[in-house]
Structure 1
Amino acid sequence: MDHPKALIIAEKPSVANDIAKALGGFTKYEDYFESDDFVISSAVGHLLEIAAPEEFDVKRGKWSFANLPVVPPYFDLRPIAKTESRLKVLQKLIKRKDINQLINACDAGREGELIFRLIAQHAKAPQAIKRLWLQSMTPAAIRDGFASLRSDADMQPLADAARCRSEADWMVGINGTRAMTAFNSKSGGFFLTTVGRVQTPTLSIVVEREELIRKFVSKDYWEVKAEFIAAAGVYEGRWFDPKFKKDVAAPDARENRLWSEAAAQSIVAACRDKKASVKEEAKPATQLAPQLFDLTSLQREANARFGFSAKNTLGLAQALYERHKVLTYPRTDAKALPEDYLDTVKQTMENLAENSSEYRPFAKQILQGDPKDPKAKAGYGWIKPNKRIFDNSKISDHFAIIPTLESPKSLSEPEQKLYDLVVRRFLAVFYPAAEFRVTTRITEASGHHFKTEGRVLVSPGWLTVYGRSNQADDELVAVQEGETVQTESISAIPLKTKPPARYTEATLLSAMESAGKWVDDDEMREAMAEKGLGTPATRAAIIEGLLAEKYMVREARELIPTAKAFQLMTLLRGLDVEELTRP
């Protein structure tokens, strides 16, 4: 037998190419690379899908309730037609006599695990399996990954989870879609009504919000605003009720809202041209830098800041990871780094200080740190153990998205914007907290109280990274202790209560992420506390799927459910299918 070799299967051709370059010594053939020890080839995403075996399946004409649900005793694998030639290449390589080991180099996540497992199952591969687990695509990271391959036994739980999810999606999606389609088509015709395990509960969140907006009845209320003259100048105050307490029964009530014009006008009349006394208290406040990005928080920020859709952000982050190699693996749900990552962070900072004029001053400042800090390690500055940043217990498969040691070359404008978001967040997290002085001033005229708030930035801390320096945001006009001020002008302002806002992609991603909190069953809520609807990697596709199926439309940044969505929800509620209408 020839010298035994390991077959490395990557998820896409570009990754196979990167692995060959990083390991070196390969000859390129049409569909694979080969060296003395390895053969490398790749899938192109999913090559197989699960399906019910022929004898258990129900054909489209028979989609009636009598033939449902379809619960096959096992699942067959069906090659996906447009990539079948790729599957044949891999099968041929797996059957080679000199291949004695398979290395799964598909994306390091649940989906990558499934892509590989289905190929190995379909080819009835007898070889031992090892797993390449990458956090970033730099050549050094690829070589390190090969030096510490994971065992097949280590990966079994992830493989089981991947299979379980894909089979659950099939069971709910196929049976739900067929049942709803049968119901909608019972008086003739064929009305395809798609339903999904994650898609439909997500849609219910959007529909429920729209129902609240439609039912909303606006109420009139008044606020009273006054201007007061002090020796140093004029400032504004807003009337409030110091005895106000929040009440669940009155969700619209606020400390500064008056529900009748007469009440507002009586305050105006009582305080007009009157003298007033002033009390104020100033408290220091600090604000920590936001945590490092996981995929969902990056998608939210990019949607709020640049209007990027969740799908676009994922595509850009994937390109920055795979093609440009300047970011770590993006499909992550962690906002922390491993506890042994201080040295890598230090190298990354040194790299930014050396190669980027834009980030140099911040990276240098972090490496320099505070010379008087006794805890700082020489050369590490502000980079030190800190559970908010370095915490193994907060990491499952992958850690937070951070820049790699590669410097970016030729990024497109959207790629540059996203890269900048990640780098600035990475720099900011090592900076000290921003410090403010918050002043609350209460002006009392004729027994009525007016509130004025001012916030002054004392030390910008991490805000420096975002271009903020020590400036007064809303510095209040100074009032001396015991000074009496004069009411200069006062008026009642008529306003209306507003309905809840429609979801944008940013707010819907947040709602999906925290969907566990809305579960009524205590035990289920406990189980879902850390989990939401979908995973960071699938949420974008779920939203896009609902748009493609015309269950929602995008108007400016708002997501609006269509009549089709309302029909489906009415139908599911009418049939009492709670599982698909609640998170």
Structure 2
Amino acid sequence: MAKAPTKTKPSASADGETKTLIIAEKPSVANDIAKALGGFQKYDDYFENADFVISSAVGHLLEIAAPEEYEVKRGKWSFANLPVIPPHFALRPIVKTESRLKVLQKLIKRKDITGLINACDAGREGELIFRLIAQHAKASQSIKRLWLQSMTPNAIRSGFENLRPDLDMQPLADAARCRSEADWLVGINGTRAMTAFNSKSGGFFLTTVGRVQTPTLSVVVEREEQIRQFISKDYWEVKAEFIAAAGIYEGRWFDPKFKKDPAETDLRENRLWSEAAAQSIVAACRGKKGTVKEEAKPATQLAPQLFDLTSLQREANARFGFSAKNTLGLAQALYERHKVLTYPRTDARALPEDYLDTVKQTIENLAEHSQEYKPFAKQILHGDPTDPKAKAGYGWIKPNKRIFDNSKISDHFAIIPTLEAPKNLSEPEYKLYDLVVRRFLAVFFPAAEFRVTTRITESSGHHFKTEGRVLVSPGWLTVYGKSIQADDELVPVQANETVQNEAIVVVPLKTKPPARYTEATLLSAMESAGKWVDDDEMREAMAEKGLGTPATRAAIIEGLLFEKYMVREARELIPTAKAFQLMTLLRGLDVEELTRPDLTGNWENKLALIEQGKMKRETFMQEIAQMTQRIVKRAKEYDSDTIPGDYATLKTPCPHCGKAVKENYRRFACEQCGFTISKTPGGRAFEYPEVESLLQEKTIGPLQGFRSKMGRPFAAIIKLSEIPEDDKDYPNAGFKLEFDFGNSANDETEAIDFTGREALGVCPKCSGAIYEDGMRYICEHNTGPNKTCDFKTGKVVLQQEISTEQLKKLLTTGKTDLLTNFKSNRTGRGFKAYLALDPSGKIGFEFEAKAAGKAPVKKRAGETAASKSADKPKRASRAKAAEGA
């Protein structure tokens, strides 16, 4: 057991004793290892006993970078400094975790530390985290690998009894480095090249690309293109009611000669493409008799397979609306903090073949400690006593390749509950835990059995189909509360019974476009991305991998949302104008490999070969360097005025001459006069409804997402200002686009006239009236040379828009609602806070209490909240974070 901390730390052993340093990926794992092994003294940053020192990283502590002599400090967004392909990679500490890196360096350099154990997460990324730390610290000690699938004490102790030699892990380490370095080369060079291309005409239009994010975005854009191009067609169905001796049933007309054509997805056996044809069926069958034939067949349905991370994310999104990111966070907490689930970042849906005893223990544990799952667990353990394959006491737990299959497991097995009983789970944590436990129990139950009935009623030469499915034996559905329901049965008919047509109607319908992606369906598309690959060998390689990994797919989706390539509306993911522009660019430059799953499929295939020792790391990296050269070369050499693409004609006419305004790659331009505006002012792509509104109203905003030339985000109102006819810079244009940062002209020397404007409230400093003025809210006494008050605040504060309703609430109650979209200028991190007035009338942030019963935390910000609005672009110190893959 770990002991209480002491103030004095031991120095390196002076009596010749040697120790092994265990490096975990996270502090909580280090703590679990110390508890499982026992006998440790706890210090601030590590645990220590007679044999071991245990410490941890906090995820990635280092990032790869170009060596100092190859890194471009200025002008990195220009073609002059591309491509960046250094002969080797340097390591750079991640600033926010540098103190933790220094702790590990100091421990590695202790004279009594003669061995290292890599206890980071079992997988490619965990291997990389440890290897980079060891490289940076120039560690020379021998290395062994702890490979954990579960965080229970027994699993940890078992792992230490079966440490893997470092030589066995070298291929995995090579694959991890290749993945990291290749992502860096494509992400950095691709992003800088596309940004340089898009910024050639001025401004700064950050255009991120990446090996996984861009093909994923392509999937979403292609679906949206299908929706936009979809032309709905009218069709008709005919439905009839028939009276039998035992009651009334409904049938739907169908064509028994229909054959499905994969190329014609709109065609169905029950659709009629002429209203006249539908009406002729009604006329022929109304009031007529019909003869009945039916066939009943038994059908079975097996329980779904155990969860891997992607299927768990899909299910949680579909059932509870959880984002993929939230599901991963919850699953990680259930594994790491609560110890009730096995390792969640897995792509396997099977268990090891020698896991029958562990499964039996787990189900016995559920039977003993959980009233909710007890009846199902006992049923599994009891099983079928007459089954000759059943092992005594194991019930339905028996060898089954659908559940226990070593060939279907790579680094980790399926997500299942552990022997730990859950305590103090939050509601979302419990929902996810319950999903996993019920899936785990269900997979051992027998199949559900149904009786499927197909009834064909023929009347006047026309055929009507009636289908029914009756649950005969619920099997695994019992775990989800299903039972036999006799009232689901169809009204019975006798063999060859004659029935009477009681009513028949034509139902007019329209074909519908394909549905937009949700996170659940996009995760499925990423997982099965191989189906879009033409090459048979590549498709087979991607069958197991898809786009990204289970552990990274949530981050990829969140990254696309963060970069404003997509927006989330309800559960739908909708690509933005910026996304369409990127796809147009990549297609026009003929670098479509960045938009197709082939690229990541090829990589994953070769990374797997490296892991298996069948391909050399050097060969892979040479291929990546060649591809990077080609991407940059295409962008540099493109010399046409515009990129070819499918461009729109706006609905709103030119505000100057009334003719049509058409889109090209860079601009919206009138086909007649000189009127033209950029599609990406300030590096932000216009959405079609926004530019339509701007042309109609001559102003729009405040809008967010603009970037200064240095890459700093800002918000502004956009206006179309009239141009004097003699302005030589804008001949015959009529209007020009301008940013309005909210400061009325000459408001320092001339008071603003607020006549006719709505007063929003009373100034907390001088009791004057507060008005909206451009990008700010301002006191009426805070303008002109004789101003007597200094109260004002931005309409956008740290990228959080402050609506007039929230401003009114602030002025009347002293505090806004909890606002959730603030972003720190310093770190870029989002946070939630209230805006609140202090007794002097200054605005500051007030934060939610972290524990029940505590008062909210107030942070005196003076004029901070008011002055840190994104009124004007400010100089950015670094744009590195936005270059990602």
What TM-score range do you get, normalising by the shorter chain? over 0.9
- What is aligned with 2:199? 185
Are 2:377 and 1:367 aligned?
Answer: no
Q: Aligned partners of 2:510, 2:241: CA distance in 1, in Å?
A: 23
Q: Aligned partners of 2:330, 2:120: CA distance in 1, in Å?
A: 19
Secondary structure of the equivalent of 1:87? helix
1:150-188 per-position Cα deviation (integer Å, ceiling 9, x unaligned): 111121121111111111110110000000010011112
By how many angstroms is 1:527 displaced? Answer: 2.7
Q: Aligned partners of 1:314, 1:544: CA distance in 2, in Å?
A: 12
Are 2:567 and 1:553 aligned?
Answer: yes
Are 2:335 and 1:318 aligned?
Answer: no
- What is aligned with 2:864? none
- What is aligned with 2:186? 172
Are 2:169 and 1:155 aligned?
Answer: yes
**Which amino acid letter does the alignment assign opposite residue 445 of structure 1?**
S
**Which amino acid letter does the alignment assign opposite residue 102 of structure 1?**
L
Find 1:294's aligned residue among 283, 287, 308: 308
> Quick check: 2:76–2:192 contact (8 Å CA) kept in 1?
no
Q: Aligned partners of 2:367, 2:45: CA distance in 1, in Å?
A: 41
By how many angstroms is 1:288 displaced? Answer: 0.3
> Quick check: 1:455–1:473 contact (8 Å CA) kept in 2?
no
Secondary structure of the equivalent of 1:54? coil
Secondary structure of the equivalent of 1:55? coil
More RCO (CA 8 Å, sep 6+): 1
| 1:29-428 alignment runs, 5 A limit | 29-428=43-442
Q: Aligned partners of 2:247, 2:477: CA distance in 1, in Å?
A: 30
- What is aligned with 1:492? 506
- What is aligned with 1:520? 534
1:95-119 per-position Cα deviation (integer Å, ceiling 9, x unaligned): 1111111001111121111110000
By how many angstroms is 1:270 displaced? Answer: 0.2
**Structure 2, unaligned runs of 5 or more:** 1-14, 598-885
Q: State the TM-score, normalized to the length of structure 2.
A: 0.65
> Quick check: 1:455–1:472 contact (8 Å CA) kept in 2?
no
Change (3 A) 1:482 1:190: closer
By how many angstroms is 1:579 displaced? Answer: 1.4
> Quick check: 2:75–2:81 contact (8 Å CA) kept in 1?
no
1:342-377 per-position Cα deviation (integer Å, ceiling 9, x unaligned): 000000011000000000000001000001111111
**Which amino acid letter does the alignment assign opposite residue 443 of structure 2?**
V
- What is aligned with 1:8? 22
Are 2:568 and 1:562 aligned?
Answer: no
Q: Aligned partners of 1:523, 1:485: CA distance in 2, in Å?
A: 56
Deviates more, 1:551-560 or 1:524-533: 524-533
1:452-492 per-position Cα deviation (integer Å, ceiling 9, x unaligned): 00111110000000000111473100001121000000000
**Which amino acid letter does the alignment assign opposite residue 389 of structure 2?**
K
- What is aligned with 2:494? 480
- What is aligned with 2:738? none
> Quick check: 2:272–2:278 contact (8 Å CA) kept in 1?
yes
By how many angstroms is 1:520 displaced? Answer: 2.3
By how many angstroms is 1:526 displaced? Answer: 3.2
Deviates more, 1:305-314 or 1:186-195: 186-195
Q: Aligned partners of 1:551, 1:292: CA distance in 2, in Å?
A: 33
Deviates more, 1:152-161 or 1:338-347: 152-161
Q: Aligned partners of 2:76, 2:46: CA distance in 1, in Å?
A: 44
Deviates more, 1:445-454 or 1:474-483: 474-483
Secondary structure of the equivalent of 2:417? coil
**Which amino acid letter does the alignment assign opposite residue 43 of structure 1?**
A
Q: State the TM-score, normalized to the length of structure 1.
A: 0.99
% of aligned pairs identical?
Answer: 90
Secondary structure of the equivalent of 1:239? strand
> Quick check: 2:195–2:205 contact (8 Å CA) kept in 1?
yes
By how many angstroms is 1:60 displaced? Answer: 4.3
Q: Aligned partners of 1:54, 1:463: CA distance in 2, in Å?
A: 61
Q: Aligned partners of 1:61, 1:231: CA distance in 2, in Å?
A: 85
Secondary structure of the equivalent of 1:61? coil
Q: Aligned partners of 1:224, 1:301: CA distance in 2, in Å?
A: 36
- What is aligned with 1:444? 458
Q: Aligned partners of 2:483, 2:262: CA distance in 1, in Å?
A: 41
**Which amino acid letter does the alignment assign opposite residue 525 of structure 1?**
R
Q: Aligned partners of 1:354, 1:186: CA distance in 2, in Å?
A: 69
**Which amino acid letter does the alignment assign opposite residue 484 of structure 1?**
T
1:528-554 per-position Cα deviation (integer Å, ceiling 9, x unaligned): 232200000000000000001111000
Q: Aligned partners of 1:90, 1:261: CA distance in 2, in Å?
A: 76
Structure richer in helix, relative to its length:
1
Q: Aligned partners of 1:250, 1:31: CA distance in 2, in Å?
A: 64
> Quick check: 1:233–1:477 contact (8 Å CA) kept in 2?
yes
**Which amino acid letter does the alignment assign opposite residue 99 of structure 1?**
I
Change (3 A) 1:131 1:204: same
Q: Aligned partners of 2:190, 2:51: CA distance in 1, in Å?
A: 48
Change (3 A) 1:494 1:54: same
> Quick check: 1:457–1:473 contact (8 Å CA) kept in 2?
no
Secondary structure of the equivalent of 2:69? helix
Q: Aligned partners of 2:159, 2:38: CA distance in 1, in Å?
A: 15
- What is aligned with 1:453? 467
By how many angstroms is 1:15 displaced? Answer: 1.2
Q: Aligned partners of 2:469, 2:168: CA distance in 1, in Å?
A: 52
Q: Aligned partners of 1:267, 1:68: CA distance in 2, in Å?
A: 69
**Which amino acid letter does the alignment assign opposite residue 315 of structure 2?**
E
**Which amino acid letter does the alignment assign opposite residue 67 of structure 1?**
N
Secondary structure of the equivalent of 1:236? strand
Q: Aligned partners of 2:531, 2:201: CA distance in 1, in Å?
A: 40
By how many angstroms is 1:65 displaced? Answer: 2.6
By how many angstroms is 1:29 displaced? Answer: 1.3
**Which amino acid letter does the alignment assign opposite residue 144 of structure 2?**
K
Q: Aligned partners of 1:218, 1:472: CA distance in 2, in Å?
A: 40
- Deviation beyond 3 Å, 4+ runs, structure 1: none
> Quick check: 1:440–1:452 contact (8 Å CA) kept in 2?
yes
Aligned residues: 583
Change (3 A) 1:266 1:392: same
Secondary structure of the equivalent of 1:279? strand
Secondary structure of the equivalent of 1:358? coil
Change (3 A) 1:578 1:375: same
Secondary structure of the equivalent of 2:425? coil
By how many angstroms is 1:64 displaced? Answer: 2.6
> Quick check: 1:9–1:43 contact (8 Å CA) kept in 2?
yes
1:106-144 per-position Cα deviation (integer Å, ceiling 9, x unaligned): 111211111100000001100011111111111111111
By how many angstroms is 1:62 displaced? Answer: 4.1
